[in-house]
A = this chain, B = another copy of it.
Amino acid sequence: MQKITYLEKPIYFEAFSAVGGYEEGRGPLGESFDFIDEKDLFGMKTWEKAEGEMSRIALNLALKKKGLSPSELNVLVAGDLQNQCVASSGGLFSFGVPFLGLYGACSTCTEGLLVLSSMLTTSKTYTRGASVTSSHNCAAERQFRTPIEYGGQRSPTAQWTATASGAFILSKERSHAKITAFMPGKIVDGYTKDQSNMGAAMALAAFDSIARFFEENNPDDFDLIMTGDLGAVGSSILEDLLSEKLTRYGTKLASLHKDAGLLLYDLNGRDVHSGASGCGCSASVLASHVLPKVVSGELSRILFLSTGALMSTSSVSQGDNILGVAPLLRIEHEDF
């Protein structure tokens, strides 16, 4: 049975950072990123290595903000979209921090913060840990579809995998932004096989988690419901579902909804079609745009959920439906 975990003692955001590439840099949130490499290569020779290096830079920048050294981290959780998550392991290896690898597709940012909150709560001896997620457009395109050099035509419902990484340092020390509750999501059938329309596939998972969460939370207490990367198509499906299926709160919930995939890029006249996606999308939007507002108190309580499309090239070629999952976090401002 799906239960919400309310943390007796909250877990705090101590520092966070967002790193991105060219498309992210010229987007509406570009100015808020901590580091942009317009060449998307981050000094590396391959897109795959560039993704790992981006994660390394993101974690370094987050550590630097508080003058922390890697040895002050007790645990590191990380994940990405590359086969066998090698961007995370290869990119973050040099920190020498005990490592837990995750795979939740584009939901990995939320899953990572959830697992890390749990680890910090469980362990009396842990004081802080980090969660890092990343995606790289060019690595993802050639792994899942075709190399970008091929210049394949993309469907209007397709999303643009973000070249971005977000790093978060969580701690038991008080700060102005905290995680107070979390809930893993059920795997939900997206009822589609179209890998160029993942927003639609994931919208049902987001709906399932949000509906469950607000069985015992009141939307009037929330300023924002932020999904990870539903994009234009998935967001419209989610808002329709909320309004039509949840008679008690649905309209309110739909009005609170924003999607990170619609915030990262200017959708007009760019080739990003239905918006951003990828593990780096929700992570970088959370770090660059959402958490600063929670810290300042502009947002006092939010629901944050990334959505993941659980599929691979082999599951698609073998005719499987795309499955979705949407773990969630309740994040709050703390005043002091």
Q: Which residues of A contact B (CB under 8 A)?
A: 1-8, 46, 48-49, 71-75, 79, 81-86, 89-90, 92-93, 96-105, 111, 114-115, 117-119, 121-126, 143, 183-187, 189, 308, 310-315, 318, 320, 323, 325, 327
Contact = CB atoms under 8 A, between A and B. Distances in A.
A98 B5 contact: no
A5 B126 contact: yes
A115 B122 CA distance: 10
Integer count of this chain's copies in the complex? 2
Contacts of A97: 186
Given A1-B72, A5-B126, A96 B186 contact: yes
14 contacts: A3-B123, A4-B125, A8-B124, A82-B312, A83-B312, A84-B311, A89-B187, A89-B310, A89-B325, A100-B327, A101-B102, A101-B103, A115-B118, A118-B118
Given A5-B124, A89-B187, 20 more contacts: A1-B72, A1-B73, A2-B74, A3-B123, A8-B124, A46-B318, A83-B84, A84-B103, A86-B311, A86-B314, A90-B323, A98-B185, A99-B184, A100-B111, A100-B184, A100-B327, A101-B111, A102-B103, A115-B119, A121-B122
A156 to B, nearest CB: 25
Contacts of A125: 3-5
Nearest to A320: B90
Contacts of A49: 318
Contacts of A3: 74, 123, 125-126
B101 A310 contact: yes
Contacts of A92: 187
B320 A83 contact: no
B93 A323 contact: yes
B310 A84 contact: yes
A6 B98 CA distance: 16
A58 B287 CA distance: 40
